[in-house]
Chains A and B, each alone.
Chain A
Amino acid sequence: MSYSIVAMGTSWGGLAALTKLLAGLPADFRLPVVLVQHRGKDSEGLLGELLQDATPLQVCEAEDKVSLTPGVVYVAPANYHVLIEQGYLSLSIEEPVRFSRPSIDVMFASAADTYLSATIGVVLTGANEDGSRGLAQIAARGGKALVQDPKTAEIPIMPSAAIKAVPSAEVLPLERLAPRLLELSQEPTSARVRRAV
């Protein structure tokens, strides 16, 4: 067994950070990536197109019940929550959580509860604290928590909150995140040391 999914969340400054990060992943990256980037509730699919130009991975906007495929980046649509099910995604228009829909916390928590220790959570730049609770859930279920070094973030609030919530998180400068994800994607879980909780 090894990691099965990457759950990624960002807000302010996210586009630039994501462009850089996703450009660093190879076309044969073997995990699906589910991404929440906060944005206006009526914004169309432009974010996906911009990211597609930056990465060799396939980028698509998440549709309800879409199957999770390795090496595909699923972008949460504006004004919907994304929930990770076993092998596919579900959408929801439940109330915003901490003023956010899509909510990083909601997506992260569903990843943690579905994929347990096979989940990698990544928190990038952002101007609010969404994602910190969800990242804590990923860590509590035995998954891997990665956080962009706040010093390299356009806005440090989101990564700082994530580090505070998950002191055990690996904190890496932006340019180190893609190589680290690649490493983790190739690492069998059995090789990982199970840390006592």
Chain B
Amino acid sequence: MAVPIAAGPGTGGDLDGQSFKPDLERIEIELLLEGIFRHYGFDFRSYAYASIRRRLWKRIEEEGLSSVSALQEKVLHEPEMMEKLLLDLSINVTAMFRDPGFYQTFREHVVPLLRTYPFIRIWHAGCSTGEEVYSMAILLREEGLYERARIYATDINEVVLQRAKAGIFPLERMQEYTENYIRAGGKRSFSEYYTAKYGGALFDQSLTKNVVFSQHNLVTDRSFSEFNVILCRNVLIYFDKTLQSKVHGLFYDSLAMFGVLVLGSKETLRFMAHEDCYQQIAPPEKIFRKVR
């Protein structure tokens, strides 16, 4: 059967059902990820398999290669190829005020808790290019909490952190972000927060006055402080259950008693060892309070 390979959805170039050997390919992928870990220190070994496989194949096809082993040869010998792959493997799709309902609920149910603290420490784990960090900074400012807050925004990827620091986002997305902002309970005019500059929307630099951007690897690094709020939305979905459980241990250890953990709207603590340590605030939003 002739199937145009280039037309495939990027999940395996070899569409010939007779020669596709999933078990062999799994060995190749495990070897590649082991090699990347041992040579470069990036640990993707416990990532969810179907999605990492899909992204590896996207890179394989873009490079005109035909197997995972061929990619391994290049990745191990060419650091530039590793750079490219690192960008492929760390999903950097995000938006300002993504899931506006979450921000609305955060205003209603978490902000009153935060008002009782003299100083608020927030960890934004896996902040990518920073859109959600700026969103939270705007929310805190509008609620009068920004001056006593410090946001630690971390990501595994130095390149996206640089973009987050710059605070320049595509102008063409401002309409979408404005709609999100309004539905998130925004209290002002969204356009007050940015100016059109450098071919993009440059965000008010005072929004990052209390933000510390820094590289942190959820898989290999330890806790670095104690926080009142940890935000980690749509990051753990790329991990397998074992690694998710490990990172939840890290979050639990990094969260002050009665602190708040925020996950993406389709993530769950079910079946995690720490499930019983949290109470969900205002379902269906995935906002959990550490209670033991």
The answer to whether B234 and A83 touch across the interface, beta carbons within 8 angstroms, is: no
Q: Name the one of A42, A80, A113, A141 contacting B50, with C-beta atoms under 8 angstroms.
A: A113
Q: Is the interface of A mostly helix, strand, loop or mixed?
A: mixed
- Chain B interface size band reads 35 or more
Q: Name the one of B9, B17, B49, B270 contacting A140, with C-beta atoms under 8 angstroms.
A: B17
Q: Give Cα A31–Cα B91 distance, bound, in whole angstroms.
A: 31
A149 CB-CB contact with B under 8 Å: no
The answer to whether B91 and A110 touch across the interface, beta carbons within 8 angstroms, is: no
Which one, A2-10, A57-65, A181-189, is touching chain B? A57-65
A120 CB-CB contact with B under 8 Å: no
Q: Give Cα A80–Cα B99 distance, bound, in whole angstroms.
A: 12
B157 CB-CB contact with A under 8 Å: no
Q: Give Cα A77–Cα B10 distance, bound, in whole angstroms.
A: 22
The answer to whether A133 and B266 touch across the interface, beta carbons within 8 angstroms, is: no
B154 CB-CB contact with A under 8 Å: no
A197 CB-CB contact with B under 8 Å: yes
**Which of A61, A85, A97 neighbours the largest number of chain B CB atoms within 10 Å of its CB?**
A85
User: A117-144, CB under 8 A of B: which get 1 and which 0?
Assistant: 1000000000000000110110111100
The answer to whether B238 and A92 touch across the interface, beta carbons within 8 angstroms, is: yes
Min distance, Cβ B288 to any Cβ of chain A, angstroms = 14
Tally of A-B residue pairs with Cβ under 8 A?
114
For residue A142, which residue of chain B has the nearest CB? B17
Where the two chains meet, the residues of A that have a C-beta atom closer than 8 Å to any C-beta of B are 42, 45, 61-66, 77, 80, 83-86, 88, 90-95, 97, 103, 105-106, 108-110, 112-114, 116-117, 133-134, 136-137, 139-142, 168, 197
Where the two chains meet, the residues of B that have a C-beta atom closer than 8 Å to any C-beta of A are 1, 3, 7-12, 15-18, 20, 22, 48-51, 53-55, 91, 93-94, 100, 183, 234, 236-238, 241, 244, 264-268, 270-271, 284
What are 20 pairs between A and B in contact, CB < 8 Å?
A: A77-B265, A80-B266, A83-B54, A85-B48, A90-B50, A90-B51, A92-B51, A92-B91, A92-B237, A103-B9, A105-B9, A106-B54, A109-B10, A110-B54, A113-B22, A137-B3, A140-B1, A140-B3, A140-B16, A142-B17
Q: Top 10 closest A-B pairs, CB basis?
A: A109-B11, A83-B50, A105-B9, A90-B48, A140-B15, A64-B237, A110-B50, A109-B9, A142-B17, A91-B237
